[in-house]
Amino acid sequence: MGKQPSGKKPIIIFTKYEPYLVADFEKFVDHQNRDLKVEPVMALCRCGSSKHKPHCDGSHVRSGFVGDKSPDRMKDRAVEYRGTEITIVDNRGVCSHDKSCIRSLPSVFDDKKRRWIDPRGAGADEIIETIKKCPSGALSYKINGIRYQDLDRDPVIRVKKDGPLEVEGHIELKDDMGSKPESGEHYTLCRCGVSKNKPFCDGSHHTIEFRDPE
Ligand code: SF4
Ligand code: FES
């Protein structure tokens, strides 16, 4: 498991009425992996209205933000696509729709097709490399019946431009709804305030054209 230089274990903790409170973490970067300033405890916006994104400015209080899940969200359900060498496992409920899988390996991942994953469309190594880049944990794979869904990276939170927080490296998530990421190693957290599957991003930031300040 990845570690921080200090040896401290980072945590993201919040209730459904509050921003993400992030404590004891050391690597905070922008979408180009440039370092951002880190404080011992930081409050990061998740209602989408802060004027100081990615930090909270108290806007959630004024807007009465409540981070509930929506009853009509996409089901949180892992579906298997069996191939000869590898089985791809997909949970549409937590996909952040960054389309990196589709761009990397369109012979396997093609969202224009009804059955959007074809595990026979490329070799297992190429598929694994693509799945490792899935930021949300929606994609994982099985070989010989064993599921692989975690990586071994150092803790980092990346602010995706106009999109979610990409969390890597087994950063503990604790909220008052008992939310569990699909992969404990990496997951994406909604920053626009509109996801139906809060706290996780469900790609709704594209629909509302969520934008960070230039
Ligand atoms: S989050 Fe994962 S499954 Fe969703 S589009 Fe990106 S790479 Fe594909
Ligand atoms: S940031 Fe993706 S749904 Fe809110």
Pairing of strands 146-148, 20-23: unpaired
Residue nearest to atom 2 of ligand 2 (CA): 201
Q: What is the pLDDT of residue 190?
A: 98
Q: What is the pLDDT of residue 55?
A: 97
Q: Is the alpha carbon torsion for 41, 162, 152, 83 positive or negative? A: positive
Report residue 12 as tokens.
């993201």
- Which is the closest atom of ligand 2 to the Cα of 96? 2
Q: How many CB atoms lie within 10 A of CB 8?
A: 14
Q: Which residues are 44's β-sheet partners?
A: 20, 55
Q: What is the pLDDT of residue 102?
A: 98
**What span, in angstroms and rounded, lies between the C-alpha atoms of 35 and 187?**
20
- Which is the closest atom of ligand 2 to the Cα of 164? 1
- Which is the closest atom of ligand 1 to the Cα of 100? 7
Residue nearest to atom 8 of ligand 1 (CA): 101
Q: What is the pLDDT of residue 141?
A: 98
Q: What is the pLDDT of residue 114?
A: 92
Does ligand 1 come within 6 angstroms of the Cβ of 168? no
Q: What is the pLDDT of residue 158?
A: 98
Cα 64 to ligand 1 centroid, rounded to whole Å: 31
Below-50 pLDDT ranges, the chain: none
pTM score of the predicted model: 0.96
Q: What is the pLDDT of residue 84?
A: 94
Report the pocket of ligand 2 as residue ranges, CB < 6 Å: 96, 163-164, 190-192, 194-195, 201-205
